[in-house]
Amino acid sequence: MTRVPSTSGADVIEDLVARARDFAERELRPVALAYDESEAFPHAELRRAAELGLTCYDLPREYGGGGVTSLADSIRVLEELTWGDSPIAMVITQGGFFAWPVLALGTAEQKQRWLPALCGPDPPAVAVAITEPSAGSDAAAIATEARRVEGGYVLNGHKKFIGEAHIADRAVVFATVAPGTGAKGITAFVVEHGDEGFRRGKRLPKLGSRCFPAGELHFENCFVAEDRRLGEEGQGFSGLMWVFDRARVQLAANSVGIGRAALEHAVEHAKQREAFGRPIADYQAVSFRLADAKLKLDQARLLAQHAAGLCDDGERFSTEAAMAKLAASEAAVFATWAACQTLGGSGYIRDSPVQKWLRDAKLDEIWDGTSDIMRLIVARSLFRSDVGSTESRE
């Protein structure tokens, strides 16, 4: 099995980016529309990505990962994967999302317990359970309760819009140990399929990103041993905010990948499609629209790289992560709309990738904090420097 090399030098990163690009072109693009139609889980592509080290390239080497610790390098790889297909890329990188709260809050024993499997040849389905029917953007309002009992905790509550929920082998669950105290009580736990009182709920049909499933999780007097708690009681919220900041930068790269795919497709069409005896690329109504898409996507990429650079330097980057996510998600929606408009009827029919990219891009304006919430974070940063973010992800 091919592994990501054990060092993260510049040549290694370039090799990894090239490997991701090749995998995206050869193995994701050809099957993307079929998975969108069937909504089947891409098991074969996940296993192939694992063979190439693409499921764990950003996890520490001591657990079997590739050791790419730089967020700036990581999002370059992700952009290539999402250029191939965003929902399959989300499946491929879901293990990293699960790993982040474990890395941020877990003990050495807990990391060794749960992380190596994510780097194996057949990664388990995992979830991060934050969002609830009445707690989305305001993550401090989480109502799932963790009541302390002898030897651990009993969880009761309901999570919704959770990635891979209905097939998850294990999940990081954020709950409150002190209802009514907001962020102060938020604590993280690892719950595993088979735990008494833990039930995987129904899958939720989505407009786009359809082969990356979302679903529900239910906890009914679910006992969780104390060694499944990540960090101390009340530390979960700070860990959650760290996860969100990184996730938003990654989602910015995801959006740029989608938008780039749509723009390239539209440019090629505009060069070949003729109207009134000329390629439609000759008409400013078309070319300026695509020029605007190019401008927005490149701006978004630079914002994402700036936020990632701050993260890598150990600086605060919450506002910059929100700006990158906001700019990139809206750039992707614009670029995919522009591509659909350029292709006309050819882009709107179901066998065109353009209509799929448009539906996939819309999700990035919603999860990990909506565009409204991203603007709120940026606006608050203009006047108050002590306000953190409180948003959640599918």
The full 3-state SS of the chain, as one line of letters, equals CCCCCCCCCHHHHHHHHHHHHHHHHHHHHHHHHHHHHHCCCCHHHHHHHHHCCCCCCCCCHHHCCCCCCCHHHHHHHHHHHHHHCHHHHHHHHHHHHHHHHHHHHCCHHHHHHHCHHHHCCCCCCEEEECCECCECCCHHHCCCEEEEECCEEEEEEEEEEEECHHHCCEEEEEEECCCCCHHHHEEEEEEECCCCCEEEEEEECCCCCCCCCEEEEEEEEEEEEHHHEECCCCCHHHHHHHHHHHHHHHHHHHHHHHHHHHHHHHHHHHHHCEECCEEHHHCHHHHHHHHHHHHHHHHHHHHHHHHHHHHHCCCCCHHHHHHHHHHHHHHHHHHHHHHHHHHCHHHHCCCCHHHHHHHHHHHCCCCCCCHHHHHHHHHHHHHCCCCCCCCCCC
Residue 80 CB burial class (10 angstroms; 0-12, 13-18, ≥19): buried
- 175 part of a folded domain: yes
Cα angle at 383 between 377 and 386, to 5 degrees?
65
Query: For residue 114, what is the domain's CATH number?
Result: 1.10.540.10
Kindly state whether residues 52 and 135 are assigned to the same domain.
no
CATH classification of the domain holding 136: 2.40.110.10
Nearest to 367 by CA among 141, 208, 226, 236: 208
Are residues 265 and 230 part of one domain? no
Domain boundary among 119, 135, 165: 119
Tokens representing residue 339 in the block: 């591509």
In the block, tokens 């764990």 appear at: 56
**CATH number, residue 379:** 1.20.140.10
Pick from 215, 234, 253: which residue ends a domain?
A: 234
In a domain, 3, yes or no: no
304 found inside a domain: yes
Determine the pLDDT at residue 138.
Answer: 81
Give yes or no: residues 377 and 254 share one domain: yes
Q: Is residue 389 part of a domain?
A: no
Same domain for 228 and 286, yes or no, is no
Which residue segment(s) compose the domain that 138 sits in? 126-234
| In-domain check, residue 4 | no
Residues 160, 144 contacting (CB under 8 angstroms):
no
In the numeric block, which tokens belong to residue 152?
């651990």
Last residue of a domain, one of 54, 86, 119: 119
Whether residues 170 and 208 share a domain: the answer is yes
Round to whole Å and give the CA distance between 267 and 354: 12
pLDDT at position 236 is 95
Are 207 and 157 found together in one domain? yes
Same domain, 227 and 251: no
Residue 373 in domain: yes
Same domain, 93 and 131: no
For position 391, what pLDDT does the model report? Answer: 43
Q: What tens-digit pLDDT sequence spans the chain (394 residues)?
A: 233 333 457 888 999 999 999 999 999 999 999 999 999 999 999 999 999 999 999 999 999 999 999 999 999 999 999 999 999 999 999 999 999 999 999 999 999 999 999 999 999 999 999 999 988 778 889 999 999 999 999 999 999 999 999 999 999 999 999 999 999 999 999 999 999 999 999 999 999 999 999 999 999 999 999 999 999 999 999 999 999 999 999 999 999 999 999 999 999 999 999 999 999 999 999 999 999 999 999 999 999 999 999 999 999 999 999 999 999 999 999 999 999 999 999 999 999 999 999 999 999 999 999 999 999 999 999 998 554 444 444 4
Do 64 and 107 have their domain in common?
A: yes
378 and 250 assigned to the same domain: yes
| 226/309 same-domain check | no
pLDDT at 385: 54
b/e per residue, 297-327, with b = 16+ CB within 10 A? beebbebbbbbbbbbeeeeebbbbbbbbbbb
The CA distance from 391 to 379, in Å, is: 15
Determine, yes or no, domain membership for 267: yes
pTM over 0.75: yes
Cβ-count burial of 17 within 10 angstroms (0-12 exposed, 13-18 middle, 19+ buried)? middle
Is 74 in the same domain as 140? no
Pairing of strands 229-230, 145-149: unpaired
Could you tell me if residue 388 is inside a domain?
Answer: no
* Number of domains observed in the structure of the chain: 3
Signed CA dihedral, 185, 190, 193, 195: sign only: negative
How many residues does this entry show for the chain? 394
